[in-house]
Amino acid sequence: MEEQRQQTYIELVQALLDCEDGTEAEILEAHPKLVDEGLVAVLHGVARMMREQNDPAAANTIEWLTKFASQLAQLLGLEPEANSADGESQFNFLMTVFQAIADSSGNPQVVYPLFQANLPLLDEQLISVLTVWHQATFAEVDEGDKQFFTAVISEFANLIQQFPLGSRLANLEIAIACYRLALEVYTRAAYPENWAMTQMNLAIAYGDQIRGERAVNLEESIACYRLALEVRTREAYPEQWARTQMNLAGALQTRIRGERAVQTFSHQNYRIIGDGISYLVCWLILQTFPKFGRGRLIAANRTWG
């Protein structure tokens, strides 16, 4: 997964910082698959984060990171200055977007114009910038700030996932990375409702994911829906439970591996109006088809009159 690769980059940078002088080449040789443009971006990102902390003791480290990133970029045939500028632009863009989300409560009419004006910055490199910022920031702030930033990151994920412009593939990868970062704070034990909501959103993103094998993505989606249902029970959260069941039904209908759902209803069976549609349909499914309790999901047609 992309977010796991970003974490691996960060761990490699830490290894480079901790190693003895002159052994950097050996470390890179031991991780040839990580020596690429992504590593260069993370090196620049770590240097930028340290620079913003205004710690005089870090000056030598910042200089080394910047120089090493430039040398590596040259070896890879990249343009060091352009790469750094892109990272700086993406960082500034990300901070601007986060501020707009916080100020507007995630209003798309406020945030989407920022997206549209900066389409070249909405690529997968933004994940590297976000990951580095997240690790540096969350290491310094208290629990209250972590909750605040996580709420902003989650809303950013929701917005980018639904944004109709730019690269659909990149938008989905960014959203998935954001949701997984959110789960580092929204644990099931500490924030069960937020955890379940994030699992639901992650399930939707995996269901739409373009990168990777479709069958694998669908299994990830199904697994996340089922995790969400561990909290979104029928008794505790009937409406959320029903929506999640319906989405799970849809995922199972398109499943490639394992047993698929059986479509049995049509829009002619029931005419239901109002917000209670999902709950009532799921209730009817459960009451009519007891096999559901043994793991066989009966899915309703989503087209209702």
Contacts of residue 289, Cβ cutoff 8 Å, sequence gap at least 6: 264, 296, 298
Per-residue pLDDT of the chain (305 residues; tens, 9 = 90+): 566 777 888 889 889 888 888 888 888 889 888 888 888 888 888 887 777 677 777 778 888 888 888 888 878 877 544 444 467 888 899 999 999 999 999 999 999 999 999 998 998 889 988 988 998 899 889 999 999 999 999 999 999 999 999 999 999 999 999 999 999 999 999 999 999 999 999 999 999 999 999 999 999 999 999 999 999 999 999 999 999 998 998 888 888 876 655 443 333 333 333 334 344 445 555 554 444 443 333 333 333 32
φ and ψ at 263, to 5 degrees?
A: -85, 120
User: What is the spatial distance between Cα 157 and Cα 163, in angstroms, rounded to a whole number?
Assistant: 10
Q: Where are the domains of the chain?
A: 1-185, 205-305
Show Cβ contacts of residue 203 under 8 Å, excluding neighbours closer than 6 positions. Answer: 220, 221, 222, 223, 224, 225, 228, 247, 248, 251
pTM check: above 0.75: no
Instruction: Find tokens 């970062």 and name the residue.
Output: 181
Please tell me whether residue 263 adopts helix, strand or coil conformation: strand
Torsions phi, psi for 38 (to 5 deg): -65, -40
> Is 299 strand, coil or helix?
strand
CA 21 to CA 7: how far, in whole Å? 24
